A and B are shown apart, each in its own frame.
Chain A
Amino acid sequence: MPVRLPFRPRRDAYPPDLWTKCPGCAEMLFNKQLDKSLRVCPHCGHHFRIPAKTRIEQLVDSGSFIERDSDLSPVDALGFVDLKAYPDRLMAAQLSTGLRDAAVWGIGNIGGRPVSMCVMDFGFIGGSMGSVVGEKVARAGEAAIADRIPLIIISSSGGARMQEGTYSLMQLVKTMGVVERVKAARVPFISVMTDPTTGGVFASFAVVGDVNLAEPNALIRFAGDRVSSGTISEELPAGYARAEFWFSHGFVDRIVARAHLRDEIIALLGFLIAPPLNGSAETPQAPVSRPRSFLSALTGALTGENVAESHNGETGASRGEAPRG
């Protein structure tokens, strides 16, 4: 019990939940230690779900992320009421997460290279994709095309948001339309599927990355349990629709533990480089030795690097393949 003394006020700020029980191995984990291990159980490797902003902090170069469109807010277009009115659900989710909707997007650097990044937050109504989430994914893709920087989408979602009806369904088309343009523009797109990636999110942008990564044991699935058990009766084997299942069925390139995710992305970005817009190999090359600020890295992505093949290996090695931790 904290002793309430005037000269130790910080004690009041101690959270009541100092410990977390791991659902994988039932070990009691000290939360501070769990945060240090990126919220992965040090005993059994269980990957806890993490909020979008924590994910961003883990991946980007410290302090480089600039969020965009944080003020986009959802609208109750249908006047939807189930056991609770949709606006009430939104309000509760906004208060508990501090987000306006279930995705955060912005521009940040990973290993010195600027990327456009969209991260979904499962804590906000199950990370479900309504109009705002779809819009943010689309804007992240469009920014990637405009700046010719890689697009990284970290999915964590139960699927389309039922409370926005067919507008949610249309977000699948909206996001896929932009992703098709990302591909046509030859801008790299890395999709990271985390626990869980299901329904309409799995059946749209999450599954069609240039490279699909997944966190260990993440649930990835199109038809949810409650949907399929209500429609058809079929016994499902253990480990069904987990990341390893998709790896063995050929829909995931690599299963990456959270501790290695940043390094994996850096390594991949060292290979996936958007070619210059006009495809002209004669574009003047920026000096390679220039310090990599945000802007120069951007110019580099626009003009340099991929021009002279002799530099590719070198820059790839110095920039991309940082020593693995």
Chain B
Amino acid sequence: MVDRLLGRSHGDGQPENPNAAVWAHVQQARNLKRPHTLELLKAMADEFVELHGDRLFGDDSAIVAGLARISGRRIVVIGFQKGQDTEENIRRNFGLPHPEGYRKAMRVMELAERYGMPILTFVDVQGAFPGAAAEERGIAEAIARSVGLMTRLRTPIVVVITGEGGSGGALGLAVGDVVLALENSIYSVISPEGCASILWRSSDQSQAAAVAMKVTAGEQVELGVVDAVIPEPGEGAHTDPAETARLVRDVVLERLDVLGRLSLDDLVEARFKRYRAYGPYTVAERPAAPPERVGITDRLRGLLTKPTMPPFPGTRRTGPSGREEV
């Protein structure tokens, strides 16, 4: 199974351990020396004014937001910021954002909408900070509202996944008209470690989880979640941040030109439709569909063709916690 998956996505047919190839990709995406938002901006923007604070609680240094001038254009840039060394990482909470980060992002995105500036986001985050401080201040609410806001913002949004696109924490800044990804980046619903510890009940299986979730940028393009891959120079983005920034800038400006030609109504409608359409499902064919007015109980029972005794209301299943039979 794994061979088949990899055969399709890589096709090089090398006899090396296929899990290892994907895992190397994950490691590359996590490379501390990869350029993050501020490094990319330094190379691609003529001017950048960072804005701080969510006006509610504080300022989150794991997410940076501000006004940039890139090739003469005014663009609001928001992105995750990991540190490049231990000291900076401690200051930036290892790039794990608290709710304040997303609330700052929302505030700045609304600014962009009001002043007619397009939004560019850089996504590189393992996930939102999973500790109590983030939880009790409503990290879930902050992410939900940020995602909701981005589905309806009346200004073009371009998302670039530059490293790790990890779970809801990444998604909070990753809803856009165009979603791009650097070649060595990853995008997943949960970190491979988290997936392995839940589904395999062992974090040793992170490599298998990474393969199963199809985390690589190329695979995400095949799934249609990412629109296009931006190639990285040389051995990876960390070897030449300036060239990486130039490649990113060219693609982003090109995409913004295309988006700028759409009316805002069409833009927002197209963005909504894009996300509305995600996720495959089928409509199961049933022998003799029952008429619409049949109660739900009958319909559900009709689905259940297994010859068991009729379930008692509410006693159908053993709850996860402690029902004992006597």
Contacts and interface: CB of A to CB of B under 8 A. Distances in A.
B131 to A, nearest CB: 5
Nearest to A205: B144
Interface range on chain B: under 10, 10 to 19, 20 to 34, or 35 or more? 35 or more
Nearest to B286: A71
A170 to B, nearest CB: 4
B315 A132 contact: no
Given A65-B296, A165-B223, A230-B193, A172 B147 contact: yes
A283 interface: no
B127 interface: yes
Nearest to A131: B279
B300 interface: yes
A249 interface: yes
A293 interface: no
B57 interface: no
B168 interface: yes
Interface string B260-296: 0000000000001001101111111110010011011
Interface in B63-86: none
Interface stretch (B106-114, B246-254, B306-314): B306-314
Interface stretch (B10-18, B27-35, B207-215, B231-239): B207-215
A77 B223 contact: yes
Most buried by A among B141, B297, B301: B141
Contacts of B209: 82
A144 interface: no
Contacts of B187: 166
A131 B278 contact: yes
Interface in B164-183: 167-168, 171, 175
A98 B145 CA distance: 34
Interface string A178-219: 111100100000000000000110111101100000000000
Interface string A53-84: 11011000001011100111111011111110
Contacts of A251: 138, 141
B258 interface: no
A176 interface: yes
Contacts of B201: 83
Given A177-B276, A207-B140, A66 B312 contact: no
Given A82-B212, A96-B317, A162 B190 contact: yes
Given A131-B279, A169-B171, A171-B279, A123 B317 contact: yes
A128 to B, nearest CB: 10
Interface residues of A, number: 107
Contact of B5 (A79, A94, A226): A79
Contacts of B281: 72-75, 131-132, 135
A173 to B, nearest CB: 4
Interface in A92-122: 94-100, 104, 106, 122
A78 B194 contact: no
Contacts of A223: 127-128, 130-131, 134-135, 139
B315 A15 contact: yes
Contacts of B285: 71
Interface of B: 1, 4-5, 126-132, 134-141, 143-145, 147-152, 167-168, 171, 175, 187-191, 193-195, 197-201, 203, 208-209, 212-214, 220, 223, 225, 272, 275-276, 278-286, 289, 292-293, 295-297, 299-301, 303-304, 306, 309-326
Instruction: In the A-B complex, list the 4 residue pairs whose CB atoms are closest, starting with the nearest.
Output: A131-B279, A223-B130, A170-B278, A228-B130
Interface of A: 12-13, 15-23, 28, 31-32, 34-35, 39, 48-51, 53-54, 56-57, 63, 65-67, 70-75, 77-83, 94-100, 104, 106, 122-123, 130-132, 134-135, 138, 160-174, 176-181, 184, 199-200, 202-205, 207-208, 221-224, 226-228, 230-232, 234, 236, 240-241, 245, 249-251
7 contacts: A53-B296, A67-B299, A70-B299, A106-B296, A168-B279, A230-B194, A231-B193
